[in-house]
Amino acid sequence: MRSWMLGSMVLLTVVASIATPQLASTPALQPRVPLLDAEGALALTGATVIDGTGSSPLRDGVVVIDRERIVYVGPASGVRIGRRVKVSHLTGKWIVPGFIDTHGHLPGADGVAPFLAQLVAFGTTTLRAPANPRVELRELVKKGEAVGPQLLVAGTLIDGVDSVYNWAVRVSTEAEVRDAVKRQAGDRVDFIKLYVGLPPNLVRAAVEEAHRHGLRVIGHLGNTTWREAAELGIDSLAHSWYSGLAHSVVPLQFRAEFRDFYVPNPRFDPGLFRKWRELVEPDSPEVLALADKLRERHVEVHPNLVLGEAMTWGDDPAVLERVEPAFAPPEIAAGWRRGRHPYSARWSTGDLTEAKLAFQSMIAIVRSFHERGVLLTAGTDYQNPWMTPGVAFHRELELLASAGIRPLDVIRIATRNGAEALGIGKDAGTIERGKRADLVVLSADPLASISHTRRIERVFLRGRMFDPRLLLGPR
């Protein structure tokens, strides 16, 4: 018996010594690197890829585009590039997702084509246009008949009966606001825009009706505070400075005094800047409680800091030149240079001084929002004075970075967060397989300085490559 067992063990050992190497060499157990060889596909190789998710950069990465889509993103070792694929070597470059501007108005028909092309030249591949019911333009861009970012449009802004705009939809009852939302839903808009004159009951009715039609709601609010709007279910809030947020973070016992501390509002008193600065701390209970409410209710905030800076430093020619009026239509730029920013032109020197000090507190509040997990996005408010197309977006990113937000997170704010806020996160906002090929190639590292997002060499819009210099034309 013992000899039989010893013989069996020897036999098993021999079999194992023969079989194991054979199993290890079986092709089925070896990792297979996919081959991409589609006619007309393009491989971008050698660049550092910042995918917009907040993940660490991918050095020496590869991004493969087939028609409008990304079909591969990853290390060079993870893919084989076939002979039919065109290769573009981008060693020493950086690739980021196309930028998403969540708040920019559109010009009239005469100026819209160069405006849209200029946005693409500055890397904007998606734009939400609040209060611009340009459904027909959205469709032209979608079909490729006009060069421009993907457009998502809101209907004409809905406001109270005392609206400063004679073209606004003015409502005074819940029935009227519901009818207004229904009409705009019938016009196939993407969003509903609510304005400063609406009290909470009308905001509630508008939000309920919009959500019933599957539409998100943006608010540039005044008579309704941000906390009230969040509790009423609003999806997005615009303007962090005295265009919206300032009156919502004052301690409760002073709230009545600051009831009208927002613009546009004929009762706005710039003399309150000093007191506001003394009352409001960036980490006060009011600020942190509001941030938590916004996060819990999934409310997106686009601070529009660049517009606040323009108004607040409206007496400083150097700040005007920072937004590069040379990139604005000449007749418009000439008007900007004639005097102070029109929105603060009547303020006293003392008011402007206090406003500049208070603006730093607002910058810190935006940082507090970011640290508490509020969904921040980047918006510009084009068609307002000093908001130069394309340039203003990159200045917004610089201001977000000046708040202490690290560049990697600023890029996420400008890309993935915007897509999430617009409801297009499955299709855009990050560099991932299957998503639309909206990409920006940079010649300098945006993580070393967020200002390097201006160093654009080429832009991919739905997989089609554009040279920024050709889009801008002669200067």
pLDDT in tens, 280-334: 999 999 999 999 999 999 999 999 999 999 999 999 999 999 999 999 999 999 9
Q: Report which residue type is found at 440.
A: V
Instruction: Give buried/exposed letters for 366-381 (b at 16+ CB in 10 A, else e).
Output: bbbbbebebbbbbbbb
Cα(343)–Cα(345) distance, rounded to whole angstroms? 6
Q: How confident is the model at residue 474 (pLDDT cuts 50, 70, 90)?
A: low
Question: What letter does residue 239 receive in the DSSP assignment?
Answer: -
Mean pLDDT of all residues in the chain?
A: 92
> Rounded to 5 degrees, what angle do the CA atoms 195, 313, 120 make?
65
Give pLDDT, residue 7.
42
Exposed, middle or buried: residue 9 (CB in 10 Å: 0-12, 13-18, 19+)?
exposed
Closest CA to 101 of 408, 413, 350, 356: 413
Q: What is the mean pLDDT of residues 369-391?
A: 97
Q: How confident is the model at residue 31 (pLDDT cuts 50, 70, 90)?
A: low
Orientation angle between helical segments 391-402 and 407-414, nearest 10 degrees: 140
- What residues have CB less than 8 Å from 243, skipping those under 6 apart? 220, 262, 263, 304, 307, 308
Give pLDDT, residue 339.
87
Rounded to an integer, what is the distance from CA 226 to the centroid of its chain? 20
Give pLDDT tens digits for 204-236.
Answer: 999 999 999 999 999 999 999 999 999 999 999
Give pLDDT, residue 3.
42
Give pLDDT tens digits for 120-151.
Answer: 999 999 999 998 889 999 999 999 999 999 99
Above 70 in pLDDT, residue 23? Answer: no
Give pLDDT, residue 108.
85
Judge if the upstream peptide bond of residue 264 is cis by omega within 30 degrees of 0: yes
Give pLDDT tens digits for 64-119.
Answer: 999 999 999 999 999 999 999 999 999 999 999 999 999 999 998 788 999 999 99
Above 60 in pLDDT, residue 28? Answer: no
Q: What is the mean pLDDT of residues 359-367?
A: 96
Q: How confident is the model at residue 373 (pLDDT cuts 50, 70, 90)?
A: very high
Our CA dihedral for 261, 262, 268, 272, rounded to 10 degrees, sits at 40
Give pLDDT, residue 208.
98
Q: What percent of the chain has pLDDT over 70?
A: 93
3-state SS class at 93: coil
Per DSSP, helices labelled H in 36-145 are 109-121, 135-142
3-state SS class at 279: helix
Contact 156, 164 (CB under 8 A): no
Give pLDDT, residue 53.
96
Cα(462)–Cα(279) distance, rounded to whole angstroms? 48
Question: What letter does residue 246 receive in the DSSP assignment?
Answer: G
Contact 370, 409 (CB under 8 A): yes
Closest CA to 152 of 422, 443, 458, 376: 422
- What residues have CB less than 8 Å from 366, skipping those under 6 apart? 240, 303, 305, 376, 400, 403
Q: What is the mean pLDDT of residues 34-61?
A: 96
**Region for 92 from its dihedrals, namely left if φ exceeds 0, alpha if ψ lies in -120 to 50, beta otherwise:** left
Give pLDDT, residue 8.
41
Give pLDDT tens digits for 11-21.
Answer: 333 333 333 33
Give pLDDT, residue 1.
41
Give pLDDT, residue 27.
45
Structural domains for the chain: 99-428 (3.20.20.140)
Q: What is the mean pLDDT of residues 457-467?
A: 97
Q: What is the mean pLDDT of residues 400-408?
A: 97
Q: Of the given ranges (7-11, 109-113, 166-170, 392-396), which has the lowest mean pLDDT?
A: 7-11
Contact 326, 333 (CB under 8 A): yes
Q: Of the given ranges (19-33, 170-184, 198-212, 280-294), which has the lowest mean pLDDT?
A: 19-33
Exposed, middle or buried: residue 16 (CB in 10 Å: 0-12, 13-18, 19+)?
exposed
